[in-house]
A and B are shown apart, each in its own frame.
Chain A
Amino acid sequence: MNFVLLFLITIFSLSLFFYGRSKTKSISIEKNIRLNALPKFYGYYLVLWCSIPALVFLLVWSLFEPVIIKSIIIETAANQGAIFGDKNEANLIYEKIKAIHLGTYFGDMDSILRESALAYAKFINLFTNSKVVLIFGIIIASVIYSLKKIKNNNKARDDVEVILKGLLFVSSLIAILTTLGIIFSLLFESIKFFSVINIFDYLFGTNWSPQRAFVRDASSITAAEFEELKDAFGFIPLIAGTSFIAFIAMLVAVPIGLFSGIYMAEYASIKVRRISKPIIEILAGIPTVVYGFFAALTVGPFFRQVGENLGLTVSSESALAAGLIMGIMIIPYVSSLSDDVINSVPQSLRDGSYAVGATKSETIKQVVIPAALPGIIGSVLLAVSRAIGETMIVVMAAGLAANLTINPLESTTTITTQIVMILVGDQEFDSPKTQSAFALGLTLFIATLILNYIAQRAVKKYREKYD
């Protein structure tokens, strides 16, 4: 039904566009007046008036219709003598009634269910009919209103402008509200988690073993269980592993990325640049899962082999392999950002340096890089926040055990890996184990937020200086 309505609204709107355009044209010729806008704006005006109120109404209706019908049906079922202890049982009965209506219910049938299903069918019918009637009413009302407006030669250009501004505003509002929604859902679940686990036990605990927390209901934890849980959610090994892998990644990405950025910006001829820049940027386009199995299946075993030959114990899932591959993945970010930053150092500074007799490398080292430094730091920080948030490579190559270690040859784990491990497969939503994923997510979010903020400040500071 909704699709038919949408289709009709579209058809009406389109025909109104052409109608409005030709109508205003003929009015202007007939009465010999100057229109306040181009004829097509009157067409747009009609389209917007015909479609937006109807669409908004349809949206609101579709959001509230199921809720209202559900409450009515549950109430009628209760009136007929259905007994349900809590909300879940009421939901179950409602789903049964819906299934009967759709003809997909094959369970036991009693009179209550049958009666309710009939009532449900009646209400659905009623609601659909009134929806159609109301929508047509709205369309007719708004079309009459807008037709009257354009007959009076309104300033359609300005009116369309106002409506479009409103539409754009609503779009950005949706984006902002979604972000806020995500943050708040993280926050609320984390608060639930922290009501069971002390925040200091979480932040400063050195042991991470969430699988211990198979407590069914957070509210019914006994004192013994609580003691058990207390040191199951220590954040330290995770942040240590995350920072350690990110650090190895930066050891790889910063020198190579920076040097290749310098080469691209300062030394490469236009021809070399045109060919090699896209090639480097291809690195950024490789899906991380591909890097992940490259790290897990090629690099990890290779390191273990080399380690064995040297008489070292190397775990086949090692921080080194994950960090190395992650570093390679990040090279293009560092390289292309620092290339841009170096390029925007004004040529006049280089000229000034050459003019006192400095060579190219002296100029780069002593003038260009210091001038570009805030921007370079910004690009490195962006790369760090990317490394911290990276998931696929570490899931596949870093390992799962939360070892608190600084040996790059041992396996270690990261925040993102643990979130994946916690939420893969079956889980219960009110166990502290599941909720800990939200706490981890929140922590990760705050960490990258701070890094991004600092990075953007650094980049901005740099921009102010030279623009």
Chain B
Amino acid sequence: MSNIKIKSKNLNVYYGDKQALFDVNLDLNEKEVTALIGPSGCGKSTFIRCINRMNDVIDICKVTGNIEMDGMNINDKDLDVVSLRERVGMVFQKPNPFPKSIYDNISYGPKIHGKGETKSELDQIVENSLKKSALWEEVKDRLDEPGTSLSGGQQQRLCIARAISVNPEVILMDEPCSALDPIATAKIEELIDELKKTYTIVIVTHSMAQAVRVSQKTGFFHLGKLIEVGKTEKIFKNPDNKMTQDYITGRFG
């Protein structure tokens, strides 16, 4: 059994008066892929946004309860969000490369954190990140072209490269393939398999097939509650909860 990297305890999230998460207790294992599934609006994205405090951006959002990474309380008011996000990267639903060159898209993060002080160090970081995201071969000759000129699947891999450029420990992926075609999706999934050797990955997905393919552990959310969590195999073959059973067999959702 691998180590627990992130541990949430009685995590509640409110958007104004509306409660979005109810007492979520979920452990994420180190160097493993955890998939979060559930119908739209069930709180899975809200949950992963708690891990890198992206909910801070939303004024009316309030988070209570405990969420720890390696024993450090993420939800602590005094926590330095910048260094937290250095350790927890994120990839979004729609590829969102900056309107900058491919090179600058990757070097953006390291520069912010003061990594790669010389040009050659920075070059190295960019090259490594692109190699890890399996994009290097496709773009190595056109690093100064704008990131937006790439295809959708390439853009998403660029965003993954951007996330790993600051050398995080955890990567959060919020439906990373929902805007991509099946071939681009296959590439990203392959990449996730590769990345889990180095990083702890949490992926939100609407595709049950994808959850089965990429994850070792699966959590099922419904209406803001974590209904069931367990090994992916078990969740999809023999879930304990009737609701999980109904969801994965397509009876609702």
- A→B interface (CB under 8 Å): 269, 346, 348-359, 362, 366-367, 370-371, 465
| Contact across chains for B92 and A371 when beta carbons are under 8 A apart | no
Give complex CA distance A220, B162 in Å.
Answer: 77
Residues of B within 8 A of A367 (CB): 98, 108
CA distance A371 to B147 in the complex (A): 12
The 9 closest A-B pairs by CB, nearest first: A356-B109, A357-B85, A355-B90, A348-B96, A352-B96, A357-B82, A371-B99, A357-B86, A358-B112
B177 contacts chain A at the CB level, 8 A cutoff = no
Q: A351-B92, A465-B99 are in contact. Are A357 and B59 (CB under 8 A)?
A: no
State whether A357 and B109 are in contact (beta carbons under 8 Å apart), knowing that A351-B57, A371-B99 are contacts in the complex.
yes
Give the complex CA separation of A354 and B52 in angstroms.
10
For the complex, give the distance between the alpha carbons of A359 and B80 in Å: 11
Query: Interface SS of chain A: helix, strand, loop or mixed?
Result: helix
- With both beta carbons as reference points, the residue of chain B lying nearest to A355 in the complex is identified as B90
Contacts A346-B96, A352-B162, A358-B112 aside, 16 further interface pairs with beta carbons under 8 A come to A269-B59, A348-B94, A351-B57, A351-B92, A353-B98, A356-B112, A356-B162, A357-B84, A357-B85, A357-B112, A357-B113, A358-B108, A366-B108, A367-B108, A371-B98, A465-B148
Contact A362–B112 (Cβ < 8 Å): yes
A81 to chain B, nearest CB (A): 83
The distance in angstroms between the C-alpha atoms of A355 and B100, with both chains bound, is: 17
Are A355 and B54 in contact (CB-based, < 8 A)? yes
A353 to B165, CA, bound (A): 13
A-B contact pairs, 10 of them (CB 8 A): A269-B59, A352-B159, A355-B89, A355-B92, A356-B85, A356-B109, A356-B163, A357-B166, A362-B112, A367-B108
A348 to B86, Cβ gap below 8 A? no
On whether the beta carbons of A357 and B83 are closer than 8 Å, the reply is yes
**A131 → chain B closest CB, angstroms:** 66
In Å, the complex CA distance between A311 and B213 comes to: 81
- In the complex, which residues of chain B have a beta carbon less than 8 angstroms from the beta carbon of A357? 81-86, 109, 112-113, 166
Residues in B neighbouring A371, C-beta threshold 8 A: 98-99
Interface centre among A350, A359, A366 (most CB of B within 10 A): A366
> Is A370's CB under 8 angstroms from B85's CB?
no
**Residue interface bits B63-99, CB-to-A below 8 A is 1, else 0:** 0000000000000000001111110011010101111
Instruction: Give the residues in chain B near A349, CB-CB below 8 Å.
Output: 96, 98-99
Q: Tell me, rounded to whole Å, the shortest Cβ–Cβ distance linking B101 to chain A.
A: 11
